[in-house]
Amino acid sequence: MTALALPAYAQLSDADEAALADLYRRGTPANTLRAWERDLAYIAAWKMASFGQPLAWPEDEKVALRFILDHAQDLSDKTGPAQDVAMELIAIGLRMALTCPAPATLDRRIASWQAFHRMRNLPSPFSAPLVQQTRQKARRANARPRMPKSPKPITRDILEALLATCDASHRGIRDRAMLMLAFASGGRRRSEITALNVENIALNDFATKGLVWIRLLETKTTKKDQAPRLPMKGRAARALVHWLEVTKITDGPLFRPVSLSDRPLPRRLATDALRTILRYRLQLAGFPVDFATPHGLRAGFLTQAALDGAPLAAAMKLSLHRSAVQAQKYYADVEISENPVTNLLGD
């Protein structure tokens, strides 16, 4: 199926692109930039379809209010301007359905809209009291149960089953090292794993302490000038060192594609490679391919830390969560009967 070309008003203008490059692009993670651009395309198309006008800076409060109202209802069984606009957005591929978008989706698009106001040093219409109240009521009216980013956390027992499928081929050695690093270094995101270079791995303490240090140049919560150093030891450290030894890789991308003839290639893995690898290993281990996503490694690290009785603060040192409330959710998901504090007096 051929992708539909977006109309001009649903694309970044030259002025928008210049503003992004000058003020935000160098200091914002690439994934966030892509999300902003997609959201701006959606918002621009929505306003043109709704008002017949391009975006204004600053935007009018009535436009912000209408945006919230249009996205706070299920349009499947309604008629009128809001449904007509939604149908137009569906036709150009910017909206998936007439059903009410998730509150998180609406919040993200509003946050992107606000970010473009900030980069122009302009007040946001979403700061107006009436608009804020409407947004809060819309969020409550359409609240949904919290859905995990991965159907299941990949805890230690599941990870062991995946590792058991990794043989002595280059592909097997790479997959073992990737999965163990992603879990043992604090539940790393897939983009963080594929962005690693050999230069980010310090082996100075491996011979004497069995310790490997990993420097993450940029994460979702840290910037290059904050690059954290994370320790990794034991089996995970040995698996990573084994990958470097058998491939004789000394610089450049740490993890690389492996050819059909089992030869590591010189280029970097795609950002989404960990998802493909995980699905393949899940299938080999006898799990459904949709049993878990790469985020399951991050969820699994925190869940296993809770099951093992590790303090939340200690787990956050590795996971790099900024919010204790967010990290605590993984601890709260652990079945209370499995909580180690239920057996403080022993058997």
User: Which residue type sits at 27?
Assistant: G
The list of the chain residues with pLDDT below 50 reads 1-3
Cβ distance 103 to 139 under 8 Å? yes
Greatest distance between any 2 Cα atoms in the chain: 72
Peptide bond into 103 cis (omega under 30): no
pLDDT at residue number 68: 94
Q: H-helix or E-strand containing 213? A: strand 211-215
State both tokens at 265. Answer: 């290639």
pLDDT at residue number 89: 94
- 94/39 Cα distance (integer angstroms): 9
Q: Can you name the residues that pair with 201 across neighbouring β-strands?
A: 214
pLDDT at residue number 146: 62
- 97/55 Cα distance (integer angstroms): 23
- Quick one: 254 exposed, middle or buried, by C-beta within 10 A (0-12, 13-18, 19+)? buried
pLDDT at residue number 103: 86
- 270/258 Cα distance (integer angstroms): 12
Q: Residues 131-160: pLDDT tens digits?
A: 999 988 888 887 766 666 667 899 999 999
User: Which residue type sits at 131?
Assistant: V
pLDDT at residue number 1: 39
pLDDT at residue number 307: 87
Instruction: State the number of CA atoms in the 13 A half-sphere of 345 facing the CB.
Output: 0
- 216/195 Cα distance (integer angstroms): 9
Helices 234-247, 170-184: axis angle to 10 degrees equals: 150
- 43/177 Cα distance (integer angstroms): 42
pLDDT at residue number 322: 83
| Contacts within 8 Å (CB) and 24+ apart, 55-59 | 57/116, 57/117, 57/120, 57/122, 58/117, 58/120, 58/122, 58/123, 58/124, 58/125, 59/113, 59/117, 59/124, 59/125
The torsion angle over the Cα atoms of residues 59, 65, 66 and 70, rounded to 10 degrees, is 130
- 321/343 Cα distance (integer angstroms): 28
Domains of the chain, CATH where assigned = 8-141 (1.10.150.130), 156-340 (1.10.443.10)
Distances (CA, A) of 307 to 183, 190, 311, 342: 15, 24, 10, 11
pTM greater than 0.85: no
